[in-house]
Structure 1
Amino acid sequence: MAGDDPRSKPKYGVEEPKDREVQAEFHDEWRERERKSLEYLEEITSNPRLHQERLLQQILEKNANSHYLQQFGMNGATDVQTFRKLLPVCDYEDIRPLIQRIADGDKSQLLSGDPVVELIVSTGTTGGECKLLPITEEDRSTRILMSGLNMPILNKNLPGLEKGKCLYFYFLQPGSKSEGGLMRRGAFPSLIHSQVERSVKNLADPSFRRTSPDALIYCSNYEESTYCHLICGLLQLEEVLRIMGTFSSTLLRTVRNLEEWWPEICEDLATGTLSTRRVQSDFVRGVVQPYLRADPELADLVRRECSKKSKKGLLKRLWPNCKILDTICTGTMAAYTPILSHYGDDIPLICSSMYNASEGFFGQNMDSMAPPDRIYYTLIPTIAYYEFIPIPVEGEGEQNNQEILDLTNVEEGKDYEILITTVSGLCRYRMGDVLKVVGFYNAAPKFQFVRRTSVVLSVDCEKIDEKELHLGVTKAAKLVEENVGSMLEDYTSRVDLSTSPPHYVIFMEFRNEEHIVESIPAEVLEKCCALLESTFDANAFYKSFKANSFIGPLELQIVKEGTFQRVAEVSFSRGASPTQYKTPRGLGPQHSPHLEVLKYGLIHRHIHQSSTFATPIEVQLG
């Protein structure tokens, strides 16, 4: 992008006017939009059944001539009964051939009646290979609608954000084109590009003024972008009321970047320049230049705080007026809550974001200020048609032919796997998420994200999922913190098939202030293994297989600080988006480059001593 003129780029967002009378009118318009958005939410959540039935009818009418609906004999039917009778529950593999045809340029009505305008690339959380989800122009509109509801809800729960700014660490990885010429982007980059193309008016939002120039969305280099966000955010530190990152892992990675880069940042703050080593793009330098000023006192402040041994409260010390750390902190992202809370001290960690996925944006957190363990989402009934497969209570076993329920028939306290039907042509599609009903917002159910249905660890027919892994790792991490004072940074796992019997390997990285991690006593590592094993023992199959030596003793590997950042960089080099990246919780043969990084970063390797370690045999991994 070197040499690009920032003025040639489309404008992202609308600047607030300077004239006081015009500014007052601007604020009045904004408040009216917020009021209407909240009224809309109240109306649709008060009668979800009506809106769900209408939406399903509209979807089936629009897609009536699609290959997918016709192959099951829908023949234009739009009623719920026929829909459920004729259309099967499906997953990605069922529709992969049709999606591949779309990606290759087939413009016929394969899944939807409307043309496909873009392919959304999934984050590939646990499967290794990214999925492609086709979307139509109408689907784009629903995503923009959903994103426009976030700030009205947050402003209702936390008034006054319009008096300051948001330090928002956003980075849009450049898209690519499929064989058929369709753009492939992540869900978040797709949303931003759609908003830019349409010059969405509700981006003129005084409560979401950002510290960085909007043109930074066109920066194609993650490190350059993050460096500039930090510079701009520090230059306006008194105005920052909200620090925001897409995922908790993204926000933590940014803090770690700050810890590494602060000497150069201080030099740039003192001189009013940008490091040519960190920022090489002429375009980026051009858009950030107007924000720069020489401020030696600010540089001294940042140097003083960042050079302290203890990093507790670092974010609060640098941005003293910050009211919230706003990031997705549910599901596997919950692992980062303790370390982010350590950096933030008394700054609340919240999630104002939607319940979203590559397949669409579906739910809103109506209580934005709720702590991470009480984040509940209300599914919006005008966005997708929802169905729910009951999850059997532990001990009941699988139940054949369970009745699939609609949005208004789920029961509080029960777990369900969600199915979605969307305007882009996904029909009764298994997203792979398990949700728990925790109550109701008006008449619409509120859900808590429980886990992915995808299995993380399995040697035979035992299945350890993300929730069980997270529970065990949390217990082990607490033990390490209590004994050596070091906090968990990240973790993952794999099944080692090179031993007889095979066994589980858990990788953990801890914050390594004063190199205390290297001296973790063997007895602490042994207790960590015992905690992990005891957690997995709650799975009856795992316990039985271990007792019968079908599964070997658990292995714990502690890796150097920064290893998981290098694991992430491997994913980035293979096309993963830095803002959407989530550490895979289970590594398989497709992750061999990641495993090499973990191997290189090894500090401690401890095998649970409750039984004899498995005897090596010649088995090729993968």
Structure 2
Amino acid sequence: MFRHVEGVEKGKGMVFLLTGHETRTPGGLPIEPGTSWYLKSDYFKNRPSNWFYSYTSPDEIMLGSDLKQNLYCHLLCGLVQRDEVVRISSTFASGMVRVIKVLEDSWKELCLNIRSGYLSEWITDSGCRNAVSMVLGGQPRPNLSDEIESICSQKSWKGIMKKLWPQTKYIEAIVTGSMVQYIPMLEHYCSDLPVVSTIYASSESIFGINTYPLCKPEDISYTLMPNISYFEFIPMEGDNGDVLDLADVKLGSSYKLLVTNLWGLYRMRIGDMVKVTGFYNKAPRFRFLGRENALLSIDTDRTNEEYLFKAINRAKLVLESSDLRLVDFTSYADISSSDPGHYVIYWEVNVKNEDMKNLQFYKKTFLECCSVWRIHLTMNTGTVGLTNLSGLSR
């Protein structure tokens, strides 16, 4: 990124790295996210001393076992060093939105910790507690606390990230596929800061990099790196079962991705769907479309992730015309309470205009959203009942 953003190497990253919970297979083998393995690896423990690995948070916070405590401690360390932060990063856009929610709920307590120089008693993870206590050093910072309190007390939190961390150059998070839904929220809270997605990876392998990191989120594509893994492609159109090499893909075509990594030679159909959008020199560039098996399904109706988001975005326009903003959503297929079954969509919403906090949800608006949703999913007549849309305000 230092080639694209001036001065990014002259500060620290507020990077929300977290370890996930480890589970075990029936045979006793450990299963954990790729980021967890990375954070526990000898490479990370002995990582190079350069700008890319310069973080506001000590390692103990990243290795903590309690998500709420970890995020709180990440934020506290970042606020204490707010003038040194030049980049803010989370693995996924959903994680960044979660961070902002923790900030919304906890900023007053964070200010108290900064004012006193001591950490709240409810932080019980010993590693986190000892590490953050070293950062705070028992030193009261009343002026810093006043500055943060003044910013967070404003009615509107539009652009709050740049106000709290004024030297920040960009926000980094994966915003493709299912993370697309979080882009409007990031643009609201992080306005005037570019949202970049630099890498395409999973637990199986690193796949590619974004050679144009400052592009708009909707234009993000990745150049696959054949020196890391061997990539093959199954065309999404047609059932002939052909498997193509990287050199044989065609511009504008969509494929299911096969990956053979170089540590074990396992050939994996990971479920990702990608589309060729162009070329970097002679190397194909791909846009991530979504997951192959991410479906809502009732009877003969099949709704994949791509069509789900298109329908949500259409219905969201109706919602926003009533001064409401979609924060997040989830969905499931209900086949037990009605015949035919129907899709249930849960929306978390808040109000754009902070002076209208008492605005009630109007039945007409949600009925119109349901109508738009159904039209744009083009469901098979008779196999799916009317959509149930429920709203939750914040």
**Is TM > 0.5 for Structure 1 vs Structure 2?**
yes
**1:343-389, Cα deviation, whole Å (9 max, x unpaired):** 0111111112x211222211111222222111111111012211111
Q: Confirm whether residue 320 of structure 1 aligns to residue 159 of structure 2.
A: no
2:332 alignment partner AA: R
Q: Confirm whether residue 489 of structure 1 aligns to residue 334 of structure 2.
A: no
User: How far does residue 208 in structure 1 lie from its aligned partner after superposition?
Assistant: 3.5
C-alpha distance in 1 between matches for 2:124 and 2:286? 45
Number of aligned positions between the proteins: 389
* Greater RCO structure (CA 8 Å; 6+ sep): 1
Q: Confirm whether residue 205 of structure 1 aligns to residue 50 of structure 2.
A: yes
Mapping 1:117-156, distance limit 5 Å: 154-156=1-3
Alignment correspondent of 1:471:
310
The match for 2:127 among 269, 283, 305 is 283
The match for 2:385 among 534, 552, 555 is 552
2:2 alignment partner AA: N
SS in 1 for 2:321: helix
**1:427-452, Cα deviation, whole Å (9 max, x unpaired):** 54321111010111122111000121
515 and 172 in structure 1: CA distance in 2 versus 1, 3 angstrom threshold: farther
C-alpha distance in 2 between matches for 1:282 and 1:495? 43
197 and 272 in structure 1: CA distance in 2 versus 1, 3 angstrom threshold: closer
Asked if 2 retains the 8 angstrom alpha-carbon contact of 1:377 and 1:446, the reply is yes
Asked if 1 retains the 8 angstrom alpha-carbon contact of 2:39 and 2:45, the reply is no
Q: Confirm whether residue 504 of structure 1 aligns to residue 343 of structure 2.
A: yes
Alignment correspondent of 1:143:
none
TM-score for the superposition, normalised by structure 2: 0.93
SS in 2 for 1:463: strand
**1:284-317, Cα deviation, whole Å (9 max, x unpaired):** 2221222113111111121122122211111111
Asked if 2 retains the 8 angstrom alpha-carbon contact of 1:162 and 1:208, the reply is no
209 and 177 in structure 1: CA distance in 2 versus 1, 3 angstrom threshold: same
TM-score for the superposition, normalised by structure 1: 0.60
SS in 1 for 2:106: helix
C-alpha distance in 1 between matches for 2:271 and 2:290? 9
C-alpha distance in 2 between matches for 1:248 and 1:455? 18
Gaps of 5+ in 2: none
Alignment correspondent of 2:211:
366
C-alpha distance in 2 between matches for 1:241 and 1:555? 44
Structure with the largest fraction of strand: 2
SS in 2 for 1:347: coil
1:328 alignment partner AA: I
Q: Confirm whether residue 226 of structure 1 aligns to residue 37 of structure 2.
A: no
SS in 2 for 1:458: strand
Asked if 2 retains the 8 angstrom alpha-carbon contact of 1:491 and 1:509, the reply is yes
Asked if 1 retains the 8 angstrom alpha-carbon contact of 2:15 and 2:55, the reply is yes
C-alpha distance in 2 between matches for 1:455 and 1:319? 37
Alignment correspondent of 1:530:
371
C-alpha distance in 2 between matches for 1:296 and 1:556? 46
C-alpha distance in 2 between matches for 1:238 and 1:342? 22
Q: Confirm whether residue 435 of structure 1 aligns to residue 274 of structure 2.
A: yes
1:318 alignment partner AA: L
Mapping 1:68-467, distance limit 5 Å: 154-178=1-25, 180-196=27-43, 199-200=46-47, 203-277=48-122, 279-292=123-136, 293-352=139-198, 354-392=199-237, 399-425=238-264, 427-467=266-306
**1:503-551, Cα deviation, whole Å (9 max, x unpaired):** 11111111255675861322211221121112101xxxx2xx32xx222
User: How far does residue 196 in structure 1 lie from its aligned partner after superposition?
Assistant: 4.3
174 and 503 in structure 1: CA distance in 2 versus 1, 3 angstrom threshold: closer
C-alpha distance in 2 between matches for 1:525 and 1:180? 49
C-alpha distance in 2 between matches for 1:180 and 1:455? 28
SS in 1 for 2:262: coil
SS in 1 for 2:3: helix
Asked if 2 retains the 8 angstrom alpha-carbon contact of 1:432 and 1:453, the reply is yes
The range that moved more, 258-267 or 489-498, is 489-498
**1:437-494, Cα deviation, whole Å (9 max, x unpaired):** 011112211100012111421112221111111111112223212212x221111111
Structure with the largest fraction of helix: 1
C-alpha distance in 1 between matches for 2:261 and 2:204? 9
C-alpha distance in 1 between matches for 2:246 and 2:304? 25
SS in 2 for 1:284: helix
Asked if 2 retains the 8 angstrom alpha-carbon contact of 1:455 and 1:463, the reply is no
The range that moved more, 296-305 or 421-430, is 421-430
User: How far does residue 402 in structure 1 lie from its aligned partner after superposition?
Assistant: 4.4
CA RMSD of aligned residues (A): 2.0
Q: Which has the larger radius of gyration?
A: 1
1:291 alignment partner AA: V
310 and 285 in structure 1: CA distance in 2 versus 1, 3 angstrom threshold: same
The range that moved more, 174-183 or 376-385, is 174-183
**1:535-577, Cα deviation, whole Å (9 max, x unpaired):** 101xxxx2xx32xx2221122111243xxxxxxxxxxxxxxxx
1:533 alignment partner AA: R
User: How far does residue 403 in structure 1 lie from its aligned partner after superposition?
Assistant: 2.7
